[in-house]
């Protein structure tokens, strides 16, 4: 997956190739597994004006915090789009926000600097 990551202090900025993230990505390797839900624009956005499905992430301290958020979302009936266990020990849960965007709760251990 073509991606460039920038460490901006307590924030990580990810830039993806246009159209590279619009479909779900299933990861099943020795150290990482899960589903990253599709998001972001495609080239057709500029042709037909489809709505733009964005991605945002809230950082939490531990994988256990991610599990607690996931349980909370389940109790509220929030649609879970995917879950991911990362190679460095981090964890993510992806959910759909009320406007159809992809939200993520991600713990430490996703990126080397966080």
- Residue 40 belongs to a domain with what CATH number? 3.30.720.110
What's the pLDDT band for 7 if we cut at 50, 70, 90? confident
Q: Is residue 112 part of a domain?
A: no
DSSP conformation class of 10: T
pLDDT at 50: 55
Give tens-digit pLDDT for 56-92: 999 999 999 999 999 999 999 999 999 999 999 999 9
- pLDDT at residue 2 above 80? no
pLDDT at 48: 61
Q: Is residue 77 part of a domain?
A: yes
**Among candidates 51, 79, 71, 68, which has minimal Cα distance to 107?**
68
Mean pLDDT, residues 33-50 taken together: 70
Characterize 101-112 residue by residue with b for buried, 16 or more Cβ atoms within 10 angstroms of its Cβ, and e for exposed: ebbbbbbbbbee
pTM as predicted = 0.77
Q: Is residue 16 part of a domain?
A: yes
**Range of 98's domain?**
3-107
Q: Is residue 113 part of a domain?
A: no
């Amino acid at each position: 997956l073509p991606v460039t990551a920038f460490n901006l202090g307590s924030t990580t900025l990810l830039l993806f190739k246009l159209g590279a993230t619009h479909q779900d990505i299933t990861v099943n390797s020795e150290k990482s597994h899960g589903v990253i839900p599709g998001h972001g624009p495609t080239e057709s956005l500029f042709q037909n004006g489809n709505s733009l499905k964005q991605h945002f992430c809230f950082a939490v301290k531990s994988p256990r915090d991610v599990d607690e958020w996931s349980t909370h979302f389940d109790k509220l009936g929030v649609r879970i789009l995917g879950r991911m266990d990362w190679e460095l020990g981090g964890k993510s849960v992806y959910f759909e926000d009320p406007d159809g965007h992809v939200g993520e709760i991600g713990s430490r251990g996703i990126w080397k600097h966080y």
